[in-house]
Amino acid sequence: MNWDQIEGKWKQLTGSAQEQWGKLTSDDLATLTGQKDQLVGKIQERYGIAKAEAEEQAEKWSRALKAINQENAATRL
Each residue's pLDDT tens digit, 19-63: 999 999 999 999 999 999 999 999 999 999 999 999 999 999 999
Using CA atoms, how far apart are residues 15 and 21, in angstroms rounded to an integer? 10
Report the range of poorest mean pLDDT among 5-9, 36-40, 53-57, 67-71: 67-71
pTM higher than 0.85: yes
For residue 77, is pLDDT > 80? no
Q: At what angle do helices 10-20 and 51-76 cross, to 10 degrees?
A: 120
Give me the number of domains the chain comprises.
1
Query: Residue 46: which domain range?
Result: 3-76
Using CA atoms, how far apart are residues 61 and 38, in angstroms rounded to an integer? 15
Question: What's the CATH code of the domain at 36?
Answer: 1.10.1470.10
Do 66 and 52 form a contact (C-beta atoms < 8 A)?
no
